[in-house]
């Protein structure tokens, strides 16, 4: 089992499984999170990541497996043991924050302390220091409906942190915020995490959020862990086609490696040859394999490489995005703003970096449909992505 970094693991899951009405939601998951790390569970909706989080919180009971936190067993099937959620000492931020509409900020944040035998003065002191930590000083008397979305989120965070939990669980904490606030809260979360040193397990379906936040990234699909590792590791060298597409938004190609002198090339099914840097371990037998290549790793020029035709293009502000065709293969390509090509123009391609991937099970349809209204550059980019995917099949 691969675990985050080399330090002591705070959270350990072994062969955890859970089925709802016979349909497996989480299947045989094993993972470990190092003390003080921010680990992110990334996956499309319905991949079981939230179920996994809720099992760690104790809100769902696994069918089998073992969950351990700081050396304490929280759940195990053999011998049977189950620590109820209110005894686990875990903080959690819910997706919709779950702020109690009938309680003020002060009462909400002090609630976890009031379930213990803390003295009034102690409670007051802790609450005000936690509120200061999330920058909500002086808001004790407000009710949730008097707060903005970002403030509500911080109240939920304060409530989760007030007992100094061993583990903080974040269930899609940023998905209800607008783009600007989301950026601010990412910074805020990182700051709070480093100030408190708490171990964090964070769930999201947004790959950019995951890449920006995570110390350790766990990608899930269909209830299983596809790959875990440092974010840059997963981005640069995905091991499965799912991870390549979901984390790196990469093109997938079927090709065979051909060696020509000191250079390597990829031979596409139609016989076209693409000059390409190929990782050494995937060289060899000349059999056809699957490769992932990021759009920005396809180098476009007017000469020197394999020729391809530009089918579509889109302007994204910081770059141009194209769909190009070589034989029967279509690729999504990204170039700097200054390099402009017209639709129908013949260009020449080289691949800077590819990774060899193993085929995963097909991506569920929900991944391909973006959630929420797509507008502006973001929406355009999404539409472009989808088009590329469709083409590359």
Mask of contacts with another protein, 150-179, x by CB under 8 A?
------x--xx--x----------------
- For 369, the 3-state DSSP assignment is coil
Number of residues that bind another protein (CB under 8 A): 29
**42 or 99: whose CB is closer to another protein?**
99
Ramachandran sector of residue 15 (left: φ over 0; alpha: ψ -120 to 50; beta: rest): left
> For residue 53, what is the enclosing H or E element?
helix 49-57
> For residue 58, what is the enclosing H or E element?
none
Q: Which of 27, 64, 77, 89 binds another protein (CB under 8 A)?
A: 89
Residues 110-139 that bind another protein (CB under 8 A): 111-112, 115-116
- Report the candidate in 148, 160, 159, 168 with the shortest Cα–Cα distance to residue 108: 159
Mask of contacts with another protein, 256-295, x by CB under 8 A?
----------------------------------------
List Cα–Cα distances, 123 to 127, 163, 181, in angstroms: 6, 10, 30
> For residue 18, what is the enclosing H or E element?
strand 9-20
Using CB under 8 A as the binding rule, whether residue 71 contacts another protein is answered as no
Binding part of the chain for another protein, among 97-105, 126-134, 313-321, 364-372 by CB under 8 A, reads 97-105
Q: Which of 59, 132, 337, 359 binds another protein (CB under 8 A)?
A: 59
Binding part of the chain for another protein, among 93-101, 304-312, 365-373, 378-386 by CB under 8 A, reads 93-101
Using CB under 8 A as the binding rule, whether residue 57 contacts another protein is answered as yes
Using CB under 8 A as the binding rule, whether residue 146 contacts another protein is answered as no
Cα 140 to Cα 290: distance, rounded to the nearest angstrom: 56
Binding part of the chain for another protein, among 36-44, 94-102, 235-243, 283-291 by CB under 8 A, reads 94-102
**85 or 279: whose CB is closer to another protein?**
85
Sign of CA dihedral 300, 301, 302, 304: negative
Residues in CB range of 70: below 8 A, 6 or more apart: 10, 166
The b/e string for 259-282 (b: 16+ C-beta within 10 A; e otherwise) is eeeeebbbebeeebebbbebeeeb
Q: Which of 7, 100, 286, 304 binds another protein (CB under 8 A)?
A: 100
Tell me which residue has tokens 């970002």.
Answer: 150
The site for another protein (CB under 8 A) is made up of 57-59, 84-92, 94-96, 98-102, 111-112, 115-116, 145, 156, 159-160, 163
């Amino acid at each position: 089992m691969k675990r985050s970094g080399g330090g002591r693991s705070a959270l350990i899951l072994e062969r955890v499984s859970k089925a709802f009405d016979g349909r497996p939601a989480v299947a045989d998951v094993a993972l470990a999170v190092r003390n003080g790390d921010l680990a992110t569970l990334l996956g499309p909706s319905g991949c079981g990541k939230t179920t996994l989080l809720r099992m760690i919180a104790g809100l769902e009971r696994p069918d089998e497996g073992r969950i351990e936190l700081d050396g304490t067993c929280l759940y195990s099937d053999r011998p049977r043991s189950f620590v109820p959620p209110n005894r686990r000492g875990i903080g959690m931020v819910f997706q919709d924050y779950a702020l109690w509409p009938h309680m003020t900020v002060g009462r909400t944040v002090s609630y976890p302390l009031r379930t213990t035998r803390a003295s009034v003065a102690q409670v007051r002191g802790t609450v005000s220091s936690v509120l200061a930590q999330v920058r909500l000083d002086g808001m004790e008397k407000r009710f949730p409906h008097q707060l903005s979305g970002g403030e509500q989120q911080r109240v939920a965070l304060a409530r989760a942190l007030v007992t100094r939990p061993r583990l903080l669980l974040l269930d899609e904490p940023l998905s209800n915020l607008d783009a600007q606030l989301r950026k601010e809260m990412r910074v805020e979360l990182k700051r709070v995490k480093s100030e408190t040193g708490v171990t964090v397990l964070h769930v999201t379906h947004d790959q950019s959020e995951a890449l920006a936040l995570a110390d350790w990234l766990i990608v899930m699909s269909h209830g299983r862990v596809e790959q875990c590792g440092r974010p840059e590791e997963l981005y640069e060298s995905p091991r499965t086609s799912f991870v390549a597409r979901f984390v790196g938004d990469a093109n997938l190609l079927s090709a065979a490696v051909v060696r020509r002198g000191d250079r390597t090339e990829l031979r596409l099914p139609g016989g076209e040859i693409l000059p390409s840097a190929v990782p050494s371990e995937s060289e060899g037998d000349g059999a056809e394999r699957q490769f992932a290549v990021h759009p920005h790793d396809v180098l476009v020029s007017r000469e020197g490489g394999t020729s391809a035709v530009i089918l579509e293009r889109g302007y994204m502000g910081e770059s141009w995005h194209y769909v190009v065709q070589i034989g029967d293969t279509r690729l999504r390509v990204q170039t700097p703003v200054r390099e402009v090509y017209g639709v129908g123009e013949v260009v020449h391609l080289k691949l800077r970096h590819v990774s060899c991937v193993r085929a995963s099970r097909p991506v569920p349809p929900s991944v391909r449909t973006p959630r929420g209204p797509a507008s502006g550059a973001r929406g355009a980019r999404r539409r472009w992505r989808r088009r590329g995917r469709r083409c590359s099949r």
